[in-house]
Chains A and B, each alone.
Chain A
Amino acid sequence: MNSQSDKRVSVRTARAAAGAALLAVIAGACGVSTTDTTPEPSSGGYGGNITVLAAASLTETFTQIGKTFEADNPNAKVTFSFAASSALAEQIDSGAPADVFASASTKNMDTVVQAGHAADPTVFATNVLTIAVPAANPGKVTGLDSLTSRNVKTALCQPQVPCGVVAAEVATNAKVDITPVTLEPDVKSVLSKVTLGEVDAGLVYVTDARAAGDKVREIAIPAKFNASTDYPIATLKDSQNTDTAQGFVDAVLSDEGQKVLTEAGFGTP
């Protein structure tokens, strides 16, 4: 009885500690949110903190553009949240404090614009799909036709996520009936199931397959079947730091930003 109650207490202590840690994290997250703004437009440089919500497929490129932006504007700090565009659009609708939204589909941007959270988005990149397979290609995937076999385990994005929308278009164009084993929350989750070797193939953007390096092999989708998606970007109406937010959007649209994107495999609009 005694050691039992001791243990119960220790579990409670652990939970209390976990709760305290969670509160600390929440407090920390609030600390870096958009409310902490000290714009110092000294000598044309941008300042303050901004939060950029960006499609998962922009993880590598936007991180790089963000670093350059911070180097050019030492007083500015850019915090990213990468997720499925549909999930981010929902977060913005629910009042997530953020300054910039970059979507992997015009559809999710339109929802945000229609809800009055943003205006005049600019398309800054395009992307097409490819078939990513583990380096050893255990499913012997040769093309889209392979993905119709029940023996080939395929991962796709959820149908409401942009990469899932584009995948459905590709399947329609090629008149193939893909039989996925899982519908993942975003394109990076599809990619990780491929790199772990848990699936034989995944439909991801060419940029994601390229970013994964040697871990995956790319099996190209013929151009006549492929579908592309547009990436719009906009500052958000509720931004507490519109100057710096606009500055980041300009950095993405700048020649330097565009160079980062094209090198990663994005198309120019």
Chain B
Amino acid sequence: MARPTTLRPAERARRAAGGGQRSAPGVILVPALIALAFLLIPLGGLIIRAPWTHAWEILTRDDALDALRLSLWTTTLATGISIVLGVPLAWLLARTDLPGLRWVRALVTLPLVLPPVVGGVALLLAFGRNGLLGRYLDQWFGITLPFTPAAVIMAQTFVAMPFLIITVEGALRSADAGYEEAAATLGAGRLTVFRRVTLPLLAPSLIAGAVLCWARALGEFGATITFAGSFPGRTQTMPISVYYALESDPDAAILLSLVMLLVSVLVLVGLRDRWLRVGASS
């Protein structure tokens, strides 16, 4: 997301002022190393404390597999929903001039800073059995959302979709609208332009946004446990499973954490390449 090209002049200026020195002064080096250690030591702790000898046996237990399976399919669906609904919203935010759009944009990013538990309470009050809308879902269709995998997906979408929206919106803003205009001049309809020109231009950011969204959904805890509760195999996702396992089976908690750590590292490695390409293209 960060575009190195825009930073370069500033960096050049800094280098000029600093006489191009390569070694960092102690005032910078010491806190930097403390920060690095602070971020890495806990991860090292997980790896050192992990019960490697019976890792396989713990990880292939039904409860661990249930949580992993549930987490994987719910986060994937939440990401899919975020793409289907979020990309059009991002387009609306970036390309139209509707009144009050500034406020809409602020509201869209709200879940990024909102404590997830608050999101869960809000979802419960909106879609719970006695909620604003949930009441009618229950009365008219007999549908109750809390404590179902659907509630897990809703909680994940609520907290994760903004990541996708702001990534895609940023890309839309910086993309050259000239291509779209050219296509339109050549007679392409608005939908064709969106499908054949806008989307392909967006692809790298869309993938980056989707991966971010997926990773955020995977880590979702607060909104999920508040809105969807916790039941093994149905609503107990990996992070919730880790939280409970710490009380009853710390070894399992450590191993499940390691699995999530591994997934996160894979996501980052995958994204790094993608991000570099995005940066280079702008």
Judge: A and B partners, yes or no: yes
Interface string of B224-250 (1 = CB under 8 A from A): 010001111011100000011011101
B129 within 8 A of A: yes
Smallest beta-carbon distance B253→chain A, Å = 10
In the bound complex, do residue A11 and residue B244 qualify as a contact, i.e. CB atoms below 8 Å apart?
no
- Using A158-B247, A183-B230 as known contacts, list a sample of 10 further A-B pairs with CB atoms less than 8 Å apart, ordered by residue number in A: A7-B109, A15-B113, A160-B244, A181-B231, A181-B234, A182-B230, A183-B229, A183-B231, A184-B229, A185-B225
Instruction: Give the contacting residue for B230; candidates A1, A89, A184; CB below 8 A.
Output: A184
List which B155-179 residues lie within 8 A (CB) of chain A: 166, 169-170, 173-174
Complex formed: what's the CA distance from A160 to B241 in Å?
13
A130 within 8 A of B: no
B124: chain A residues at CB < 8 Å are 196, 198
B144 within 8 A of A: yes
B116 within 8 A of A: no
Q: Is the interface of B mostly helix, strand, loop or mixed?
A: helix
Instruction: Give the contacting residue for B105; candidates A7, A183, A197; CB below 8 A.
Output: A7
In the bound complex, do residue A181 and residue B147 qualify as a contact, i.e. CB atoms below 8 Å apart?
yes
B225: chain A residues at CB < 8 Å are 185
B231: chain A residues at CB < 8 Å are 180-183
B130 within 8 A of A: yes
A220: chain B residues at CB < 8 Å are none
By Cβ-Cβ distance, the 5 closest A-B pairs, closest first, are: A182-B229, A160-B248, A181-B147, A86-B247, A197-B130
Given contacts A4-B173, A5-B6, A87-B247, contact A198 B112 (CB under 8 A): no
Complex formed: what's the CA distance from A242 to B129 in Å?
48
B109: chain A residues at CB < 8 Å are 7, 11
A14 within 8 A of B: yes
Contact size class for B? Answer: 20 to 34
B209 within 8 A of A: no
Instruction: Give the contacting residue for A11; candidates B113, B128, B144; CB below 8 A.
Output: B113
Q: Is the interface of A mostly helix, strand, loop or mixed?
A: mixed
Binding site for A on B (CB under 8 A): 1, 6, 105, 109, 112-113, 124, 128-130, 144, 146-147, 166, 169-170, 173-174, 225, 229-232, 234-236, 243-244, 246-248, 250
In the bound complex, do residue B105 and residue A153 qualify as a contact, i.e. CB atoms below 8 Å apart?
no
B229: chain A residues at CB < 8 Å are 155, 181-184, 193
A204: chain B residues at CB < 8 Å are none
Closest residue on chain A to residue B247 by CB atoms: A86
Complex formed: what's the CA distance from A61 to B259 in Å?
41
In the bound complex, do residue A158 and residue B105 qualify as a contact, i.e. CB atoms below 8 Å apart?
no
In the bound complex, do residue B147 and residue A196 qualify as a contact, i.e. CB atoms below 8 Å apart?
no
Closest residue on chain A to residue B121 by CB atoms: A196
Smallest beta-carbon distance A216→chain B, Å = 14
Smallest beta-carbon distance A241→chain B, Å = 27
Could you list 10 examples of A-B contacts with CB < 8 Å?
A1-B6, A90-B246, A158-B230, A159-B248, A181-B234, A182-B147, A183-B231, A183-B232, A198-B129, A199-B147
A183: chain B residues at CB < 8 Å are 229-232, 236
Complex formed: what's the CA distance from A197 to B173 in Å?
45
Interface string of A173-200 (1 = CB under 8 A from B): 0000000111111000000010011110
In the bound complex, do residue A4 and residue B113 qualify as a contact, i.e. CB atoms below 8 Å apart?
no
Question: Most chain-A Cβ atoms within 10 A of its Cβ — which of B113, B124, B247?
Answer: B247
Smallest beta-carbon distance B282→chain A, Å = 9
In the bound complex, do residue B130 and residue A196 qualify as a contact, i.e. CB atoms below 8 Å apart?
yes
Complex formed: what's the CA distance from A90 to B170 in Å?
44
In the bound complex, do residue A4 and residue B247 qualify as a contact, i.e. CB atoms below 8 Å apart?
no
Closest residue on chain A to residue B226 by CB atoms: A189
Smallest beta-carbon distance A34→chain B, Å = 23
Smallest beta-carbon distance B111→chain A, Å = 12
B169: chain A residues at CB < 8 Å are 4
